[in-house]
Amino acid sequence: MNTPLRRVSLFVMLLVVALMANLTYIQVIKADEYRTDPRNSTRKSLEEYSRKRGDILAGDEVIASAVETGGRLRFQRTYSDGPVYAPITGFFSDRFGSRGIEAVENDVLNGSDDRLFVRRLSDLITGRDPEGGKIRLTVDPHVQRVAYDQLADRGFTGAIVALDPKTGAVLAMANTPSYDPSPLADHDNNVQAEAWAEYTEREDGPMQNRAIREIQPPGSTFKLITAAAALENGWRSDTGVSPDPVVTLPNTSTDLPNFNRNPCGIGQSATLKVALAESCNVPFAEISGELGADTMRETARAFGFDEELFIPVRVEASSMGELGDAAQLYQAGIGQRDVRVTPMQNALMAATIANGGTRMAPYLVDSILGPDLSTLDSTSPDELNQAISPETAATLTDMMIASEEYTGGGGDILPNVTVASKTGTAQWGTDPGANPPHAWYVAFAPAEDPQVAVAVLVESGGDHSLGATGGKVAAPLGREVMRAALGGG
Amino acid sequence: MSQPMNQPSPPGDESPTVAAAPAGPPPPPTRRTTELWLLAFSAALLSIANILVDANQEAALTSQILYNGAAFLALFAAAHFAVRKWAPYADPLILPFAALLNGLGLVMIHRIDLAMASRLEINPEDWQAVYYGGPLVGRQILWMVIGVAFFILTLWRIKDHRPLAKYGYTCGLVGLVALALPGIIPFQSIAPTINGAKIWLTFPGFSIQPGEFAKILLTIFFASFLVSKRELFTAAGRTFLRMNWPRARDMAPLFVAWGASVGVLVFERDLGTSLLFFGMVLVMLYIATERAAWVVLGLTLFVGGCLVAYQLFGHVRQRIANWIDPFATYDEAGGGYQIVQSLFSLGSGGIFGSGLGSGRPDIVPEPHTDFITVGMGEEMGFVGLSAVLILYLLLVMRGLRSALAVRDSFGKLMAGGLAFTLGFQVFVVVGGVTKLIPATGITAPFLSYGGSSLLANYILIALLLRISDAARRPAAPPKPKPKQAPIAEAHTEMVARPT
């Protein structure tokens, strides 16, 4: 019986070898695939509670931090001024994933980024508790606060974006209504679930990132692009344009009137400058028709249309939509029909004009810091393209100064500061007459040496209902934000 | 003792007392001290593991760990002294290996207790943590103590394994009934279906898996049955395909075993026990008869049974589908979720593991029973789990070595059967949870939470120790000699030769 016993021993050894070979396949060869499988995320995110997640800073102000709980899950993510910064920070939830900077800079915040390698190594050797890196945002806490309050205090639904036109740094990015990300990071799953249900079920959509994810008709603010296209193609600011109060869309019987069917300028003749200042629809519809779809689209693209940006949070691409026939082209020329933009895109447009036609890439992350606040990496401003010539930019600036004067109601936001702006009152929906229009305001200041560019969107007329205009509803907000950015109260 | 005639003298046998000369060589060392040191080593190792778990989970180390280590050592010291008294020549490695495995299982269960407790802290309605019903480590310690008590009892009551052969048929009957009972009893209150398998008998206060004990009883039965009928199995038959085939009527026990294992598969839905039981019978037949034909025949039957079961039963098809591509059936009820979670756990552990207490083995369903080895793979990595597998392999090899060394056929068959069953069970459970074979639902010996499994396996190693003691024990000093003294002392040369 000993020979078969020996063979059985051999067989058992083979079984164990087979098990170990299989384990090698799973734990060595396929390990990475299994580790990174999205369905394996519970393991990953819960693991992250045990390490101190890095702070998110706006200037020197800590807006998101990991607070020691004393419990077994050592750290809980909390957000000071949660609703103010929610569109930027996003949230960090083990049940509902993460969004915003929390999501895109996760590797830095949880400490697994390669730039933190040396730090990790020294943590391991010294036995120091491992900590994630910190993210310092470009956001100016004062400007951000003003932007949020301007919207929230009036109970508006909308968004404000402020950029530094020279660098592309995002100075403010606010949304209303907003939400508090703290409960979504709560260790109590029920708190998380309740907050999630509330935020997602609310009619006014507090979790919609209006500043960068929602595209809306730009209305007259788009005339800046039509004007830029005209100036780049032979027009001058004093070129004569049609003063007519109404134009019939080509091949249709539909009229396209100016605002309140007013004639443009003094009624006999008008210039491009006057047309932009008074925001006449007829001339810009005609210019668009004359320049043609290709030129219009090309100019819009130079300003950033049809392009997703990652700042590093994703920005929805703005679009001109279909430009099939002349009627569509006429309407697109004044920012209606299928033209859709994000407030970020409109702010970028203003910033590009302010920066002499050079379009700088917008960015939210100023620098990546180690746990000890040492700078590990910082973002250097990145030039995207020369959208328009410096001459065109200068002419547009002049025209925008005139527009700001025509809009009125502002006065000087600060002594000796000139503002260049354009308003927009965008109709939307299937029955534009019954929907309160979206009010827009894009601007930069000081006009001669721009420090800040803003875009304000107030959806559905704000507090003016059907009578809303960009000048009445959106402009005051934009001016306050610029005042804050330029050092005023 | 009936060694086959064509059997060469086993070279590996430790038979130092073949010729018990009056002076005799000194008795072989008992090596009990080695055993004690190994047990102390195990206790130290487990205390370190315990420290790692607590440090990673709570960051608060208490002197409790020292007490735990001391209690562990004290318990196995009792087992050790039982061995010293009743089986002094027994293999010195078997008990420490079993103790170490059992201790590692305790550490893992304690670790999963902590994980489940913290999950309840976050969400009191976390269904998996609620269902877990922990902490379980206290109950497992109780079972361990009872297991060791049964171990001592077995050594004490069974002083010689050979008389067990007399109870072969009794063991067979009881074993078969035990195996079949949960499947036969229709009442869910007594024989409930848990996780799809109907292998439990519940009593007020506790429940048992009779299949765990059946495997020992049936090993004893087959050992005694095969030894008594060996001549028949080896001699009769005819040659076909260059193999010596048994006569049809001699195949009856094989068919009975096959029928029983298919019955377990069908009525108890327990692929693991079915596979284990059938593998055991095949290997014992092979050891007894040395004919490969049995293995070929048995495997054919088993494959045939599996094919039929696959055609007839949805749950078998589901198991196979989950085995072939668990990711495809991930979202289905009863689909590949469990096995995928196991793969995620193992993959996340990688080569060196997350460290004891730093992983998330509690995410895998049944982390404390069938899937306990997966948790070890996650936290101790490929390296740690391989070490555990090698520990098992060494334990089985010591058992098979005792089978080689013991001199009686019954002992050989029984030790061979028991040791192989242990090893095969490890293969079936670990292979099942690592997607090498279809998932089975069977406990990892000594590691998994569960009283029946622990109790049965402690009895199993007690029997192995009994047989290994018999193998290494020097033959009793020739007692008849004094009786025959007058004749023996009459020197042959003194007898005068008739002329």
Interchain CB contact of A9 with B (< 8 Å): yes
Q: What is the pLDDT of residue B485?
A: 53
Provide the 3-class DSSP secondary structure of residue B249.
helix
pLDDT per residue over A315-326, tens digit each?
A: 999 988 888 788
pLDDT classification of B61: cutoffs 50, 70, 90: low
pLDDT surpassing 50 at residue B19: no
Tell me the average pLDDT across B113-139. Answer: 82
pLDDT classification of A251: cutoffs 50, 70, 90: confident
What are the tokens at B127? 């269904």
Q: What are the Cα distances from residue B369, in Å, to B118, B128, B134, B196, B376? A: 20, 14, 13, 15, 12
> Out of A103-112, A202-211, B161-170, which region has the weakest mean confidence (pLDDT)?
A103-112
Q: What is the pLDDT of residue B10?
A: 44
Interchain CB contact of A6 with B (< 8 Å): yes
pLDDT classification of A141: cutoffs 50, 70, 90: very high
Tell me the average pLDDT across A303-309. Answer: 92
What are the tokens at B82? 């039982």
Packing angle between helix B292-312 and helix B314-324, nearest 10 degrees?
110
With beta carbons under 8 A apart, name residues in chain A contacting B12: 2
CA distance A51 to chain B (A): 11
Name the more confident of B475 and A168: A168
Tell me the average pLDDT across A213-237. Answer: 90
Partnered with residue A64 across adjacent β-strands are A56, A79
pLDDT per residue over B456-473, tens digit each?
A: 999 999 999 999 999 988
Which long-range contacts (C-beta less than 8 Å, at least 24 apart) are formed by A380-385? A381/A166, A381/A167, A381/A168, A381/A169, A382/A168, A383/A358, A383/A359, A384/A304, A384/A359, A384/A360, A385/A302, A385/A358, A385/A359
Alpha-carbon span B224 to B84, nearest angstrom: 28
Name the more confident of B353 and B458: B458
What percent of chain B is predicted at pLDDT more than 90?
40
CA distance B251 to chain A (A): 19
Give chain B's mean pLDDT: 84
CA atoms within 13 A on the CB side of A130: 21
Residue A366: name the closest of A57, A53, A52 by CA: A57
Is B54 exposed, middle or buried, given 0-12, 13-18 or 19+ CB atoms closer than 10 A? buried
Mutation target vs A (from B114, B276, B283, B344; most A CBs, 10 A cutoff) = B344
A56-58 vs A134-137, strand pairing mode: parallel
Q: What sign for the dihedral angle of Cα A101, A107, A108, A111?
A: positive
pLDDT classification of B317: cutoffs 50, 70, 90: confident
Tell me the average pLDDT across A438-442. Answer: 92
Most confident of A392-406, B92-106, B120-134, B212-226: B92-106
pLDDT per residue over B32-42, tens digit each?
A: 999 999 999 99
Residue B226: name the closest of B178, B165, B302 by CA: B165
Q: What are phi and psi of B305, to 5 degrees?
A: -60, -40
Tell me the average pLDDT across B352-364. Answer: 85
Q: What is the pLDDT of residue A364?
A: 94
Alpha-carbon span A367 to B84, nearest angstrom: 70
Residue A280: name the closest of A393, A399, A443 by CA: A399
Alpha-carbon span A216 to A470, nearest angstrom: 14
CA distance A147 to chain B (A): 37
B485, amino acid identity: A
What are the tokens at A342? 């994000």
Partnered with residue A137 across adjacent β-strands are A58, A365
B 297-316 → A contacts, CB under 8 A: none
DSSP string, B160-219: -SGGGGGGHHHHHHHHHHHHHHHHH---TTTS--BTTB---EEETTEEE-HHHHHHHHHH
pLDDT per residue over A81-111, tens digit each?
A: 889 999 999 998 877 878 899 888 888 888 7
* Candidate from B121, B389, B396 with C-beta closest to A71: B121
Residue A360: name the closest of A170, A224, A144 by CA: A170
pLDDT classification of B21: cutoffs 50, 70, 90: very low
Q: What are phi and psi of A408, to 5 degrees?
A: 70, 180
pLDDT surpassing 90 at residue B94: yes
Give chain A's mean pLDDT: 87
pLDDT surpassing 80 at residue A431: no
Domain containing A293 — which CATH number?
3.40.710.10
Q: What is the pLDDT of residue B1?
A: 40
> Out of A76-80, B48-52, B290-294, B395-399, which region has the weakest mean confidence (pLDDT)?
B290-294
CA distance B347 to chain A (A): 4
Interchain CB contact of B244 with A (< 8 Å): no
Interchain CB contact of B382 with A (< 8 Å): yes
Tell me the average pLDDT across B341-352. Answer: 91
Q: What is the pLDDT of residue B20?
A: 43
* Candidate from A18, A72, A188 with C-beta closest to B58: A72
pLDDT classification of A266: cutoffs 50, 70, 90: confident
pLDDT surpassing 80 at residue B12: no
Mark out the alpha helices in B268-371 (DSSP H runs): 271-289, 292-312, 314-324, 337-349
With beta carbons under 8 A apart, name residues in chain B contacting A188: 122-123
pLDDT surpassing 70 at residue A414: yes
Contacts A–B by Cβ distance under 8 A: 153
With beta carbons under 8 A apart, name residues in chain B contacting A26: 343, 346-347, 434-435
Q: What are phi and psi of A173, to 5 degrees?
A: -150, 100
Contact assessment for residue B489 and residue B244, using Cβ atoms and an 8 Å cutoff: no
pLDDT classification of A125: cutoffs 50, 70, 90: low
Residue B179: name the closest of B263, B301, B253, B252 by CA: B263
The reply to whether residue A26 touches residue B346, judged by beta carbons under 8 angstroms, is: yes
For residue A208, being part of any structural domain is answered with no
Interchain CB contact of B346 with A (< 8 Å): yes
CA distance B48 to chain A (A): 19
Interchain CB contact of B386 with A (< 8 Å): yes
Domain boundaries, chain B: 32-474
Tell me the average pLDDT across B370-391. Answer: 94
Mark out the alpha helices in A210-342 (DSSP H runs): 223-232, 272-277, 281-291, 293-302, 326-333
For residue A49, being part of any structural domain is answered with no
Packing angle between helix B337-349 and helix B372-405, nearest 10 degrees?
80
Q: What is the pLDDT of residue B3?
A: 43
| Burial call B174-188: b when 16+ CB within 10 Å, e when fewer | bbbebbbbbbeeeee
Tell me the average pLDDT across B154-176. Answer: 91
**Number of separate domains in chain A:** 2
Residue A132: name the closest of A143, A144, A116 by CA: A116
Sheet holding A158-163, edge to edge: A170-176, A158-163, A452-458, A438-445, A420-426
- State the residue for tokens 């939470």: B449
pLDDT surpassing 60 at residue B15: no
CA distance B419 to chain A (A): 9
Q: What is the pLDDT of residue A274?
A: 86
Q: What is the pLDDT of residue B265?
A: 73
Alpha-carbon span A45 to A102, nearest angstrom: 12
Most confident of B53-67, B421-435, B468-482: B421-435
The reply to whether residue B420 touches residue A12, judged by beta carbons under 8 angstroms, is: yes
Alpha-carbon span B95 to B38, nearest angstrom: 9
pLDDT surpassing 70 at residue B488: no
Mutation target vs A (from B332, B343, B392, B437; most A CBs, 10 A cutoff) = B343
pLDDT classification of B6: cutoffs 50, 70, 90: very low
Tell me the average pLDDT across A194-206. Answer: 89
CA distance B403 to chain A (A): 8
With beta carbons under 8 A apart, name residues in chain B contacting A16: 389-390, 392-393, 423, 426-427
Tell me the average pLDDT across B340-367. Answer: 88
Tell me the average pLDDT across B184-210. Answer: 79
For residue A119, being part of any structural domain is answered with no
pLDDT surpassing 90 at residue B155: yes
pLDDT classification of B493: cutoffs 50, 70, 90: low
The domain in which residue A275 lies consists of 219-366+383-485
CA B69 to chain centre: 25
- State the residue for tokens 């010293």: B84
For residue A361, being part of any structural domain is answered with yes
The reply to whether residue A16 touches residue B390, judged by beta carbons under 8 angstroms, is: yes
For residue A184, being part of any structural domain is answered with no
Alpha-carbon span B371 to B346, nearest angstrom: 11
pLDDT surpassing 70 at residue A49: no
With beta carbons under 8 A apart, name residues in chain A contacting B121: 71-73
The reply to whether residue B350 touches residue A27, judged by beta carbons under 8 angstroms, is: yes
A134-137 vs A365-369, strand pairing mode: antiparallel
Partnered with residue B202 across adjacent β-strands are B207
For residue A416, being part of any structural domain is answered with yes
Q: What sign for the dihedral angle of Cα B2, B6, B10, B16?
A: positive
Rama region for B329: left / alpha / beta (φ>0; ψ in -120 to 50; rest):
alpha
With beta carbons under 8 A apart, name residues in chain B contacting A95: none
Tell me the average pLDDT across B50-77. Answer: 79
Alpha-carbon span B230 to B238, nearest angstrom: 16
Annotation marks residue A460 as catalytic: no
Alpha-carbon span B413 to B218, nearest angstrom: 12
pLDDT surpassing 50 at residue B9: no
- The answer, as to whether pTM is greater than 0.90, is no
With beta carbons under 8 A apart, name residues in chain B contacting A43: 344-345, 348, 360, 363
The reply to whether residue A9 touches residue B397, judged by beta carbons under 8 angstroms, is: yes
* Candidate from B7, B122, B424 with C-beta closest to A73: B122
| H-helix or E-strand spanning residue A320 | none
